[in-house]
Amino acid sequence: MGLCCGMIGLPNVGKTTVFNALVGAGAVVANYPFSTVETNVGIAQVPDPRVDRLVEIFKSKKKTPSTLEVRDIAGLVEGASTGEGLGNQFLGQIREVDVLMHVVRCFQGGDVVHVSGSVNPTRDIGTIETELMLADLETLDRRKQRTEKKVRAGDKKAAFELAFVQKLMDLLDKGEWLGNLPYTPEERLILDECQLLAAKPVLFVANVTEGANADEAMVKTVREFAEKRGAWVVTICGQLEAELSTLPDSERADYLKEMGLTESGLVRLAREAYALLNLITFFTAGETESRAWPLRKGLTAPQAAGKIHSDMERGFIRAEVYTYDDLMVCGSEAKVKEKGLFRLEGKDYVIKEADVVYFRFNV
């Protein structure tokens, strides 16, 4: 799939605890800064009850939910943009991801050391974002110098690029996060080439303690900050989710009910990250397997087929399509066909959310 979420934040905010709960890994969790030195990488399943219903209807032998790659990147500190705390190494790892999960500590927990000596969510967010923006300013300054040479050499296209690069530098100087702003296709091309850290979409993860109402005031400050930015926030109790992840599937629902919850915070976290990446889900279903597939919104049927296997895209003939909702109403694929809701689509068909698809292709 090639889509990846990077978990960032200060040391000791609970990143690795949330990561372990999300992907079921066993990364080191410790009460001291930089317990995560190497990036932990794992695959998180995106919970989707629709896959369970497909398994029931088709009596599938196998169930496969969609997934996202998640990377637990070591905690950044003030001065990371100049190499402090292995900053250069960690910033390089952030450049490789598609979306950022910024874990923000919203719990006191005197037994867990805070690198700044006290808990202040907006200050902590500011520390991380300042370092990312400073690193971006250095990147843009180098780009600006190269582009100025092209302008002096008479390159007319370079003049547009120079103006845009300067615009980005001005925005960063004002503390603007670039990832939430609109861009023209020409600007987006330059932005992608620069691989700027502050141009990535961000999902704030407010990490709280179980049943601690006092944490709500800190979560509120994160929400207010995110609203100004146009960003999203998910509140999660990393410790509770870590405990939940160790339970068998059959016991999780009861555990959530005991805690007064309707769903895991990780379900919301995965769902929001999925939406932030501008992904939709289509399904393939049958007796052998029912499976959810993530796909960038706006891609065509052959491109979707290529996510399954490159041969299917090259030899694409047509797609047999109906909607998940129609299947639920009708109760079976045969009834979907009887009611005329089964469609044959060609190469120009754009896959929609919750399409159930069977691809015909030549080998």
Name residues whose C-beta falls within 8 Å of residue 92's C-beta, 6 or more positions apart in sequence. Answer: none
pLDDT for residue 340? 95
CATH of 4-120+199-276, one of 3.40.50.1970, 3.40.50.720, 3.40.640.10, 3.40.50.300: 3.40.50.300
Number of H helices, E strands in the chain: 14, 12
Write the Ramachandran bin of 35: left for phi over 0, alpha for psi from -120 to 50, otherwise beta.
alpha
CA distance 199 to 65: 29
CA distance 189 to 185: 6
Q: Are 67 and 44 in contact (CB under 8 A)?
A: yes
pLDDT for residue 307? 93
The structural domains of the chain, with segments of one domain joined by +, span 4-120+199-276, 298-361
Distance in angstroms between the alpha carbons of the first and the last residue of the chain: 22
Give the class (CATH, top level) of 298-361. Answer: alpha beta
Q: What DSSP letter does each residue of 282-309 carry, written as one string?
A: EEE-SSSEEEEEEEETT-BHHHHHHHH-
Q: What DSSP letter does each residue of 102-127 carry, written as one string?
A: EEEE----TTS--TTSS--HHHHHHH
> Tell me: the pLDDT tens digits for 197-211?
999 989 999 998 876
Mode of pairing for the β-strands spanning 99-105 and 67-72: unpaired
Tokens at 32, concatenated: 């001291």
pLDDT for residue 315? 96
Question: Could you count the other beta carbons within 10 Å of the beta carbon of residue 149?
Answer: 10
**Low-confidence residues in the chain, pLDDT < 70:** 1-2, 25-38, 75-90, 109-117, 211-214
Exposure of 278 by Cβ count < 10 A (0-12 exposed, 13-18 middle, 19+ buried)?
Answer: middle
pLDDT for residue 80? 46
CA distance 176 to 40: 29
CA distance 5 to 44: 10
pLDDT for residue 76? 62
pLDDT for residue 144? 96
Tokens at 358, concatenated: 């069977």
pTM comes to 0.80
Exposure of 32 by Cβ count < 10 A (0-12 exposed, 13-18 middle, 19+ buried)?
Answer: exposed
In the block, tokens 């069977």 appear at: 358
Q: Helix or strand or coil: residue 65?
A: coil
Amino acid present at 355: D
pLDDT for residue 170? 97
Q: Helix or strand or coil: residue 228?
A: helix
Q: Where are the beta strands (DSSP E) in 4-136?
A: 4-8, 40-45, 62-64, 67-72, 99-105
Q: Helix or strand or coil: residue 206?
A: strand
pLDDT for residue 30? 42
pLDDT for residue 36? 44
pLDDT for residue 212? 56
